[in-house]
Structure 1
Amino acid sequence: MTHAPPSRSETTAPSTAAVADAPDLSEGWGEQRGRLHKDLRRLDVLFFLICTLVGLDTIGSVAAQGPQGLTWMAILAVAFFLPYGLLVAELGSAFPVQGGPYVWTRLAFGRLTAGINQILYWISNPVWVGGSLCIIALTTWEEFFTPLPGVWKYAAGLVFIWGGALAVVQSVRIGKWVPIAGAIARIVLLGFFLVSVVVFAVEHGVHTLPADEFAPTYVGFVALVPVLIFNFVGFELPSSAAEEMKNPRRDIPLSILRSGLASLVLYGGPILGILFVLPSQDIGSLGGFIDACKAVFTVYGGSIAADGTVTLTGAGSVFGGIAAAGLIIGLLTSGVTWAMGAHRAQAVACADGAGPAWLGAISEKHGTPVRVNLLSAVLASLLFVVALNLSGGDGEKYFAAGLGLTICTTFISYVITFPSLVVLRRKYPDVTRPYAVPGGRAGAWLVTALATGFVAFTVVVLIWPGFGVGWFGTEGSAAASLPEAFAGERLQYTLSQVVPLLLFLVIGLIFYALGAKTRRAKG
Structure 2
Amino acid sequence: MTAPRIAGTTSDEIREKSRLRHTLRRFDLLFFLICTIVGLDTIGAVAKHGAQGFTWLVFLAVFFFVPYGLLMAELGAAFPVEGGPYVWCRLAFGRFVAALVTVLYWCSNPLWLGGTLTILAVSAFGEFFTPLHGIARLLFALAFIWLAVASAIVSVRLGRWVPSLGAFVRMAVVGIFTLSVLLYALRNGIGGFGPAAFAPGYAVFIAVVPVLIFNYVGFELPSSASEEMLDPRRDVPRAIAWSGLGAVLLYGAPILAILLVLPREQVTGVGGFLDAAKQVFTVYGGSVSADGTATLTGAGKVLGAVTAAAFIWALLSSGATWLIGADRALAIAGLDGAAPRALGHFSRRSGTPIGANLLSGAMATLVMLLAFRLSAGSAERYFTIALGVAISTTTMAYLGIFPALVRLRRTRPEVPRPYRVPAGAAGAWVVSALTTFWAGVATVWLLWPGLGTDWFGATGDPDASLPAGVGRAAFELTQIVPIVVLLAVGVLFYALGTPTRRRAASDRAHATGDGGQ
TM > 0.5 between the two? yes
Alignment match, 2:169: 185
Change (3 A) 1:446 1:12: closer
Measure, in 1, the Cα distance between the counterparts of 2:266 and 2:401: 39
Measure, in 2, the Cα distance between the counterparts of 1:24 and 1:93: 22
Q: Is 1:506 aligned to 2:506, yes or no?
A: no
Alignment match, 1:490: 472
Q: Counterpart of 1:152 in structure 2: which amino acid?
A: A
Measure, in 1, the Cα distance between the counterparts of 2:244 and 2:8: 33
Q: Shift of residue 491 of structure 1?
A: 1.3
Alignment match, 2:419: 435
On the 8 A contact 1:179/1:333 being kept in 2, the answer is yes
Per-residue CA deviation, residues 336-378 of structure 1 (Å, 9 max, x unaligned), is 0111100011100001001111110000000000111011001
Q: Shift of residue 153 of structure 1?
A: 1.3
- In structure 1, list runs of 5 or more residues that go unmatched: 15-22
Q: Shift of residue 478 of structure 1?
A: 1.2
Counterpart secondary structure, 1:216: coil
Alignment match, 2:396: 412
1:188-199 → structure 2 map (5 Å cutoff): 188-199=172-183
On the 8 A contact 1:396/1:485 being kept in 2, the answer is no
Q: Counterpart of 1:495 in structure 2: which amino acid?
A: L
Measure, in 2, the Cα distance between the counterparts of 1:416 and 1:69: 28
Change (3 A) 1:314 1:502: same
What number of residue pairs does the alignment pair up? 505
Q: Is 1:61 aligned to 2:45, yes or no?
A: yes
Alignment match, 1:215: 199
Alignment match, 1:159: 143
Q: Shift of residue 472 of structure 1?
A: 6.3
Alignment match, 2:338: 354
Alignment match, 1:17: none
CA RMSD of aligned residues (A): 1.0
On the 8 A contact 1:26/1:353 being kept in 2, the answer is no
Report the identity percentage.
52
Q: Is 1:141 aligned to 2:125, yes or no?
A: yes
**Structure 2 residue corresponding to 1:263, chosen from 236, 239, 247:** 247
Q: Counterpart of 2:178 in structure 1: which amino acid?
A: L
Alignment match, 1:123: 107
Q: Counterpart of 2:481 in structure 1: which amino acid?
A: V
Per-residue CA deviation, residues 240-293 of structure 1 (Å, 9 max, x unaligned), is 000000100000000000000000000000001101110111111111111001
Q: Counterpart of 2:369 in structure 1: which amino acid?
A: V
On the 8 A contact 1:13/1:103 being kept in 2, the answer is no
Q: Counterpart of 2:500 in structure 1: which amino acid?
A: T
Measure, in 2, the Cα distance between the counterparts of 1:63 and 1:234: 21
Measure, in 2, the Cα distance between the counterparts of 1:447 and 1:210: 34
Measure, in 2, the Cα distance between the counterparts of 1:396 and 1:472: 30
Alignment match, 2:406: 422
Alignment match, 2:96: 112
Change (3 A) 1:138 1:12: farther
Measure, in 1, the Cα distance between the counterparts of 2:458 and 2:294: 40
Change (3 A) 1:13 1:126: farther
On the 8 A contact 2:4/2:79 being kept in 1, the answer is no
Higher mean C-alpha displacement, 248-257 vs 462-471: 462-471
Q: Shift of residue 485 of structure 1?
A: 5.3
- State the TM-score, normalizing by the size of structure 1: 0.95
Measure, in 1, the Cα distance between the counterparts of 2:38 and 2:317: 11
1:366-385 → structure 2 map (5 Å cutoff): 366-385=350-369
On the 8 A contact 1:26/1:519 being kept in 2, the answer is no
Counterpart secondary structure, 1:354: coil
Counterpart secondary structure, 2:451: coil
Q: Shift of residue 422 of structure 1?
A: 0.5
Counterpart secondary structure, 1:303: strand
- State the TM-score, normalizing by the size of structure 2: 0.96
Q: Shift of residue 307 of structure 1?
A: 1.5
Q: Shift of residue 27 of structure 1?
A: 3.2
Measure, in 2, the Cα distance between the counterparts of 1:237 and 1:214: 33
Q: Shift of residue 319 of structure 1?
A: 0.2
- In structure 2, list runs of 5 or more residues that go unmatched: 506-517
On the 8 A contact 2:39/2:215 being kept in 1, the answer is yes
Q: Is 1:363 aligned to 2:347, yes or no?
A: yes
Counterpart secondary structure, 2:40: coil
Q: Shift of residue 150 of structure 1?
A: 1.7
1:30-49 → structure 2 map (5 Å cutoff): 30-49=14-33
Per-residue CA deviation, residues 492-512 of structure 1 (Å, 9 max, x unaligned), is 111111001111111111111
Counterpart secondary structure, 1:422: helix
Measure, in 2, the Cα distance between the counterparts of 1:25 and 1:462: 38
Q: Shift of residue 209 of structure 1?
A: 1.3
Alignment match, 2:512: none
Measure, in 1, the Cα distance between the counterparts of 2:498 and 2:184: 62
Alignment match, 1:459: 443
Change (3 A) 1:185 1:376: same
Per-residue CA deviation, residues 131-153 of structure 1 (Å, 9 max, x unaligned), is 00000011000110001112221
On the 8 A contact 1:63/1:69 being kept in 2, the answer is yes
